[in-house]
Amino acid sequence: MILDDQKEMEKLDLSKVVASLEKFPEQCEEAIASGKKFAGDLKLKKPERVFVCGMGGSGIVGDMLAGVFPNNEIRVLKGYGLPAYVKNGDMVFFVSYSGDTEETLSAFREAVKRKCEIFAITSGGELERECCRRGLACMRVPKGLKPRFAIGHMLFPIIAILEKAKFLEKQNLDLVIKNLKETRDEIKSSKLMKDNPAKRIAYKLINSVPVIHGFGIYEPVVYRARTQFNENSKVVAMCETYPELNHNSILGWEDTALSRNFSVIIIRDNSENERMRRRINFTKELLKRSARSVIEVWSVYPYELSRALSTMYVLDFVSIYLGMLRGKDPGDDSLISKLKTILKEQ
């Protein structure tokens, strides 16, 4: 079994993404320290609302913030330009790991015209250069990672800034790091499949389409998981959230001939209220009769940021392990690079 053979895994992992992912807790520690230092030099006032602009592996940062802090007005913008309602005085974060994401740069230039309160998170590129020319706040993060594996570097500086601005309450980030390290100990690549839940989940997904279900704080996690299966496993994947999926998609599972092509991962935790639990359990019993497999991933931590990030971390590993089971280099994203090259030529 390739997942229990470190040398065979290394042969497939040409981009060394396993090493990047296994250092994720340390990445978060570094980002917390550098983010607090960066925020300490800023003069901030509490904004009424916050916008986060970014695409792909950078854009997921905004999704995570909005999902984990639903009581704060954080809106995520993905695309060219800005909606008309973004105005002077709004706090707007521009997240682009490369610094050259054309959609994010388009939105950034529009925000400059509207005199928004601008913060950039990037490893360099045009975004950093434009911030330097205009004297705008720009947090530079380390280079050399795939954007989808640099989420810690991009997420925690924003949390530090929002804490400093009194937009977010102070977070227990030491506990988050502790919980991420505990999670890594359970799913790291050196741990054999018989003791590794992430490897066992990946094995159950072979030759099927992954579908990820979640609710509440896990809405961005299921979306992140879908994109990680796309990028790391090189498979089509789907994601849906409760209770919305109970109003439409459950009817599709009645066709067992088609649904046998799908495997469903349901994210669970003890914060489910009674009605949500009944919805999920009803759906689970339906899926057991029709899907290839039904897998529950339970989050065990009491702290919401820990629950969201640790569950994301598990599913990141699952996507890498599934890619390797399929004989794929999980770090290969040459097709996306090809599209970017074509767009630059026009």
At residue 336, does pLDDT exceed 80? no
Terminal alpha carbon distance of the chain: 46
77-126, pLDDT tens digit by residue?
A: 999 999 999 999 899 999 999 999 999 999 999 999 999 999 999 999 99
Model pLDDT, residue 89: 85
Q: What is the pTM of this model?
A: 0.94
Mean pLDDT within 236-264 = 94
Query: Residue 314 in contact with residue 295, Cβ under 8 Å?
Result: no
Query: Residue 72 in contact with residue 167, Cβ under 8 Å?
Result: yes
Model pLDDT, residue 343: 72
Sheet with 137-140, side-by-side order of all strands: 74-77, 50-54, 91-96, 117-122, 137-140
150-202, pLDDT tens digit by residue?
A: 999 999 999 999 999 999 999 999 999 999 999 999 999 999 999 999 999 99
At residue 47, does pLDDT exceed 70? yes
CATH number of 2-12+174-325: 3.40.50.10490
Mean pLDDT within 251-268 = 93
Strand, coil or helix: 183 = helix
Architecture of domain 42-171: 3-Layer(aba) Sandwich (3.40)
CATH 3.40.50.10490 region(s) of the chain?
2-12+174-325, 42-171
Give me the chain's average pLDDT, please.
95
At residue 41, does pLDDT exceed 90? no
128-163, pLDDT tens digit by residue?
A: 999 999 999 999 999 999 999 999 999 999 999 999
Residue scoring higher pLDDT (257 or 38): 38
Model pLDDT, residue 346: 58
Return d(Cα 74, Cα 102) in angstroms, integer: 22
